[in-house]
Amino acid sequence: MVGLTSVLLLVGAASLAAAAPTELNIRQSGASTTSPPWYPAPKGGTAASWATAYAKAQALVLQMTLLEKVNITTGTGWAMGPCVGNTGPVPRLGFPSLCLHDGPLGVRFADKITSWPAGITIGGTWNKELFHARGVGLGSEFRAKGVHIALGPAMGPLGRMPAAGRNWEGFGSDPYLQGIASAEHIKGIQSQGVVATAKHYIANEQEHFRQGPGAISSNIDDRTLHEVYLWPFQDSVKAGVGAVMCSYNRVNNSAACQNSYLQNGILKDELGFQGFIMSDWLAQMSGVASVLAGMDMTMPGDGLLRTFGQN
């Protein structure tokens, strides 16, 4: 009887394997894990709510030289200023060095600041008013410390990997919850005159093997991308977020910070994002290719490795 049972189980397993969808086999083989090209980058200033900001920016940028334009979109290097990210100024036009600083839980490397509850903790309350109030509190402390761009809130990782090292920065594994919590935090932070940053775009679901040219690739079909991982970023764009940070990992075998489909196609075209995309720190894998693919600012400005002022 045992022998007959084993034979039946083997036959059943073979039948299931034969009936498996070919699409799944193709996906597992990696044959479909590519991102289609999307060029050129859509022009900004198409949303009425951003018209005034774009008019002011255009009037200023028209007066800049090419070097000055590069200066304000490139970091000066790790530990080369008061913040974790600092851009070059344009003194003759009165444009300051921009201060970009961590993080989702409060002001990093600073004294006399609040250690706020972790995102996963406050996410468990499902309380919109509390999300907004926490955003206002974060924004006010960033503003008081002279920060122009707060590097948060975090909505990626979403939490696919339970042991992922930064799940606690976000608000939970439910895309809808992440979206609402992120949007309310963005509104709160930006009400204090500080630009919020939606990060990490996108599918940055683990810390192991996350960096460098050989970084892990998050291979995702289009429906899953839209219905799960993109959802919080959609709500962030609708809330008027000023910045998005592209992530370390690759997505469908293309580095997130030079993935034209994700940056030009989905974020800037489909979602109508009007702000700027910055790289995560040392996440830019190329020069011109990243710019053409939609990345607007490189951080912290060292290249592929931190040079601590020696670049």
Lowest mean pLDDT across 6-10, 53-57, 162-166, 299-303: 6-10
Q: What is the mean pLDDT of residues 4-17?
A: 42
- pLDDT tens digits along 258-309: 999 999 999 999 999 999 999 999 999 999 999 999 999 999 998 766 666 6
As given in the structure block, the two tokens for residue 193 are: 């005159």
Question: Domain locations in the chain?
Answer: 33-292
Please say if the pLDDT value at position 26 is more than 70.
no
Q: Give the CA radius of gyration of the chain.
A: 22
87: which strand partners? 75
The answer to whether 99 touches 147, Cβ cutoff 8 Å, is yes
Q: Residue 202: is the preceding peptide bond cis (ω within 30°)?
A: yes
Find the helix or strand (DSSP H, E) in which 255 lies. Answer: strand 254-255
Please say if the pLDDT value at position 3 is more than 80.
no
The Cα 172–Cα 155 span in angstroms is 9
Query: If you count them, how many residues does the chain have?
Result: 311
The Cα 147–Cα 102 span in angstroms is 9
In this structure, what is the dihedral angle of CA atoms 235, 107, 300, 214, given to the nearest 10 degrees? Answer: -60
Q: Where are the alpha helices (DSSP H) in the chain?
A: 2-18, 22-29, 51-61, 66-72, 119-123, 128-144, 175-190, 222-224, 231-238, 260, 288-292
Active site residues: 280
Q: Which residues contact residue 48 at a Cβ distance below 8 angstroms, ignoring those fewer than 6 apart?
A: none
* CATH architecture for the domain at 33-292: Alpha-Beta Barrel (3.20)
Q: Which residues contact residue 97 at a Cβ distance below 8 angstroms, ignoring those fewer than 6 apart?
A: 76, 81, 86, 87, 88, 89
Residue 79: the pLDDT is 79
- pLDDT tens digits along 235-263: 999 999 999 999 999 999 999 999 999 99
Residue 213: the pLDDT is 86
As given in the structure block, the two tokens for residue 146 are: 């002279």
